[in-house]
Each structure stands twice: as C-alpha cells, then as structure tokens.
Amino acid sequence: MLSKDKVKELEIFATKIRIETVKAIGNLGFGHLGGAMSIVETLAVLYGEVMNIDPKNPSWEDRDWLVCSKGHAGPAVYAALALKGYFPVEELMTLNKPGTKLPSHCDRNKTVGIDMTTGSLGQGASLAAGIALGNRMDGRKNTTYLILGDGEIQEGQVWEMVLFAAHQKLDNLIAFVDYNKQQLDGYTKDICDLGDVAWKFESFGWYAQSIDGNNIPEIYEAVQKAKSTKGKPSVIVLNTVKGKGCSFIEGKVDNHHITISKEQMEQALAELYAKLEEVVAK
C-alpha cells in the first residue's frame, strides 16, 4: 500500500505531467489532448514508483519496458520522460515540429526513453508480447507494460496477441486498457460496443482487473496484484475520463484531436497550476 506521502508525491507528478502536456500541445496549437490526459495517473504510477528504470542509462537491458501502443498518447509519455530527466523539459516545446525528436507518435529511434515505436493501432500489442517473450528467453526478470486504447482493441491484431500471450504464459506482461469509452469519432458503445472488457481478457486466459483509472492508489494496488500473479499475463482495465483534468475538453465527444487556442491553453494551465498548489498544500 502506498503511504500518504507517496500518494501526494505521485499526484504532484501527475499534475506536472498534465501541465507539460498542455503546454506542449498548446504551443503547437493542435494535437491529441483527450487521450493523452486520460492515462496520466497510470504514467505517474509507472514512472514515479513502479518501473525499474534508469534515466541516465535508458538502454539498460534489465530495465522495465513501456510500450504505448495507443500512439496518440505520446505527448503525455514525453512529459513523464522529461520530468524524470531523460531529456530537458524545454524540448517538449518542439513537439511534432520540423526536426523534432518528439514526433506525434512514439519513435524509439528519435526519443530517448521510448522503448518501442508505435502508432499503427494494434501493432504495439504484438510488439509488447514479443518483448516480454524475448526478455524471458534471455533470462531477464523485468516486466513489460503495455498501454492500449479502448478504440484500439477493436483491432483483430490485439486479440491475436491476447491469445498468444496467454498460450505463452507471459506473466511478465501487464497491459492497461484506457477505457475512456470514446474513440476518434464518437463513443465506443455506438461504434463497436466492447461489452465487458475485463471479462473478455479473462476468458482468453488473462488475469483481469477493472479499476478507477484516474485513481493513483487503485492503479498501484492493481499493478502489485498483477505482478504477483504467476503463469498468465495480466490486464488492468482503466475506467478513465477522456481529457481528464482539462475542463474545456473533459468528457466531450470531439476531444480526440483538437485545435487549442491561446486562451484555452491559458485557462487549462491556470486550473492545473491551482490544482498543483492544492495538492502541494495537502
């Protein structure tokens, strides 16, 4: 169980990730803000407490790996990496600009700290399973973490991976489904209803949990349960709010890829800095 002080520390980290993500996308003027904001608590828990990593040695072979298969959440991953010291925070302002090392979707050949190139939905799932299997074959004890979008799991390739990972008993693979219940052009229930996501994974042989995906203690406890489960891969279904923490887009239907005005960015940042002060003062 996380201590009260650790929860506070991770809430501060999460708020800073949101601030830097809004700055980067707002500076560009457009981007995938909704889906980046919904996984912030998960990134804070992983990079702030759970993952065995070394920002000074990002290619360390025994590190834990993160594969962000929902590539449009890249800006939030970049913010987490910068805040952990993988590269200067100032570089976030180059997001998706000519010559940048921070493209819209994650690219391991461009960005320090990115473990796998992703963006074509579904493909990151297969890559994560391959990484987990390869590390196990090499005798490593590390864990591979995979972040999937809920719209993304409509891809057949994801379920091929789910079958494969269960068959291979990849207990060093922990997947998260960002179940914010929205995708590019609407609600998942209207486009291709996912039903009970946790049950679907469980029926394929996975250990499955469904939690409040914007709750730091719940995320941490779910990861600990997943890590202690042997003989099968794990999935944590994150019930989240798309655009969480950004009032002008939070929960709205058209918040997948948006244009952001200077005024909207300033409003969002004012709210987030107020939130940061509130958390610090706890």
Which of the four pLDDT bands, split at 50, 70 and 90, describes residue 256?
Answer: confident
- The residue assigned the tokens 């057949």 is 156
Which of the four pLDDT bands, split at 50, 70 and 90, describes residue 12?
Answer: very high
Over range 183-208, report the average pLDDT.
Answer: 94
Instruction: Give the per-residue pLDDT at 258.
Output: 82
- What's the chain's average pLDDT? 96
Residue 179 scores a pLDDT above 90: yes
Residue 185 scores a pLDDT above 90: no
Which of the four pLDDT bands, split at 50, 70 and 90, describes residue 252?
Answer: confident
**Residue scoring higher pLDDT (104 or 82):** 82
Per CATH, which fold does 4-280 belong to? Rossmann fold (3.40.50)
Who's near 274: CB < 8 A, 6+ residues apart? none
Instruction: Give the per-residue pLDDT at 255.
Output: 79
Instruction: Give the per-residue pLDDT at 245.
Output: 92
